[in-house]
Amino acid sequence: MPQTRLIGLSLGADHCWPACYEAIVAKLDLALPQGADTVRFAVERVKVEPFDLRAKSRYDLVLDRITHWFPTTREWVKKLALDGVYVFNNPWMIQAAEKHTTYVAMMRLGFPVPETWMVPPKTYSDDADTQVAIRRYNTLFSLDTVGEAVGYPSFMKPYDGGAWRGVTKLDDVGALHISYNDSGSQVMHLQKAVDNWDIFVRAIGIGPQVNCVKYDPAAPLHGRYLVDRDFMDAAGWQTMSRYARVINAFFCWDYNSCEALRSGGVFHPIDFANACPDSQVTSLHYHFPWTVRSLVAWSLFCAYTKRKPQFNPHWQPYFDIADTDLPFEEKLQRYDALAHTYFDVDRFEEFRATHLGRLDEVCFEFFRSTRAKDIIREKVALLYPKHEIEPFTDHFDGLVKLWCKTESER
């Protein structure tokens, strides 16, 4: 009996990757055996509309990119997950696990996160209850003392993050006071800068798949993700891949990125609650096709196997490992074993080998096509002035085609 698994794309301003995703799934045109049934796949963009809380969902899986800031869709996605539909990312963990929680949790597991303090906000609202609480319980503190405890240079940034919002580098106590005074009612972190770092890595995780990218935060957006496959040795790739996979499994995130700075051979994670990571060709360029291909592979696997949502993260096994006297490298290896189980890696790899043998070929063909270039042009036109559209379209298209050449020759 034929069955169709419906995949919903829950989108905001995303343009390029959904169009590429839809085209690749259509070109694959899969009809996969499952017992006596044949499973096919369809893709549909989710619309925002009133919904009956008792209604049965039409979707088998939803790939979400908007609920971290769009409440109507967020509550609809929660309803779907409670009904058993697999959603990535987990909508509750998106809300609950902001930057602060991830820092605390990974420190608990022994990750070499830089020294970080939370600082109460500079200003508060004038409502009566807030003012009573402040008078009764807020302790006067020395900002200078906090700065000395953390050290300089350091960074002040909002505890919940958000696209480099409010991030300030501080070289001395004077800069600390200026930044704190400017922070207003935001709750802030003060975090020690990583000294003498030589590599900034951004590890993009999609299910168990991880792509480690050399990153330059000082470059313009289109130049931050660098094209360099040999910037780390095998041990570095393994460490960063494990970082990303463990963090994502720990927080029930299917799609996230982890930033780390290497200093003295040690990778220090500095930002790893990016559960709606940049997915646009205008920033990822060379790395964009890998991202789309990985989203296709993981989402088809989850839809085909009817992967069930995990509502509550299971942290105790990680804490049991953390509480041993093992060196961190061995703990990380054991954490990664838990992550492999969470992501059902063996089953995923078997599915990919058995049913997605044409995926690479289809991706190469598509990303070399005029349709792919048209999608790139459409995205560029949304961001760039008219006179830059064609030059940047050619630039990004060239890097996408370079990925096809590089990957097809591996």
pLDDT at 163: 62
Sequence-ordered list of residues with C-beta below 8 angstroms from that of 357, at least 6 positions apart, any chain: none
End-to-end CA distance of the chain: 39
Task: Note whether 222 and 391 are within 8 A (CB).
Answer: no
Percent of the chain scoring above 90 in pLDDT? 80
Q: pLDDT tens-digit profile of 157-208?
A: 988 876 667 789 999 999 999 999 998 888 999 999 999 999 999 999 999 9
Q: pLDDT tens-digit profile of 103-156?
A: 999 999 999 999 999 999 888 888 888 899 888 888 888 999 999 999 999 999
Tell me yes or no: is domain 2-96 CATH 3.40.50.20.
yes
Look at the block and give the residue holding tokens 């030589």: 198
DSSP, residue by residue, 302-356: HHHTTPPP--S---HHHHHHHTS---HHHHHHHHHHHHHHHTTHHHHHHHHHHH-
Q: pLDDT tens-digit profile of 359-378?
A: 999 999 999 999 999 999 99
Question: Where does the chain hold its CATH 3.30.1490.20 domain(s)?
Answer: 115-192
70 has a pLDDT exceeding 90 = no
Which top CATH class is 115-192? Answer: alpha beta
**For the residues 58-70, what does the mean pLDDT come to?**
91
Q: Which of 9, 8, 43 is nearest to 29 (CA)?
A: 43
Q: Which residues of 3-40 are buried (b: 16+ CB within 10 A; e: fewer)?
A: eebbbbbbbeebbbbbbbbbbbbebbebebeeeeeebe
pTM: 0.94
Q: pLDDT tens-digit profile of 237-271?
A: 999 999 999 999 999 999 999 999 999 999 999 99
- Taking the C-alpha atoms of residue 17 and residue 292, their distance in angstroms, rounded to an integer, is 6
**For the residues 5-31, what does the mean pLDDT come to?**
96
**CATH superfamily placement of domain 98-111+194-274+311-343:** ATP-grasp fold, B domain (3.30.470.20)
Look at the block and give the residue holding tokens 């570095």: 236
Question: Where does the chain hold its CATH 3.30.470.20 domain(s)?
Answer: 98-111+194-274+311-343
pLDDT at 255: 96
- Taking the C-alpha atoms of residue 13 and residue 378, their distance in angstroms, rounded to an integer, is 13
pLDDT at 91: 86
Confidence of residue 90 (pLDDT cuts 50, 70, 90): confident
Question: Where does the chain hold its CATH 3.40.50.20 domain(s)?
Answer: 2-96
pLDDT at 198: 95
Compute the mean pLDDT over every residue in the chain, rounded to the nearest whole number. 94
β-pairing, 188-192 with 32-34? unpaired
Higher pLDDT, 98 or 344: 344
**For the residues 321-341, what does the mean pLDDT come to?**
98
Task: Note whether 65 and 11 are within 8 A (CB).
Answer: yes
Task: Note whether 348 and 376 are within 8 A (CB).
Answer: no
pLDDT at 96: 78
pLDDT at 393: 98
